[in-house]
Amino acid sequence: MKTYAIYVCYGPEMREHSRRFWAIKWCFKCRKRLRHDAVFMVPVEPHWYGPHWEVKCSGCGEDHTHFPGTWDGPTLEIDYGMEEG
């Protein structure tokens, strides 16, 4: 009889650090055009999984901007307020 080990990887508990307007986009879950924000998420405790940006719909709070079954990854064009020169 063989035994198998199953490993479940999960990320750390995250909290919202800041939120900025991203775009008015179609949400395939809410089925309407709604405001979407770029949300900067940070881990509650130090972790290998660092801070990152997420897209959140004002209706459902999730990212459903891509047609179901397709995903190119979020393309966040955010002005950080830092200009070169």
Please state, in angstroms and rounded to a whole number, the distance separating the CA atoms of residues 9 and 52: 18
Residues 30-36 have a mean pLDDT of 95
Scanning the structure block, which residue is given the tokens 């998420």? 41
Q: Which long-range contacts (CB under 8 A, 24 or more apart) does 21-28 make?
A: 22/55, 22/76, 22/78, 25/57, 25/65, 26/65, 27/57, 27/59, 27/60, 27/64, 27/65, 28/64, 28/65, 28/66, 28/67, 28/68
Mean pLDDT for the stretch of residues 64-85: 62
Confidence of residue 85 (pLDDT cuts 50, 70, 90): very low
d(CA 48, CA 51): 10
- Residues 12-36: what's their mean pLDDT? 92
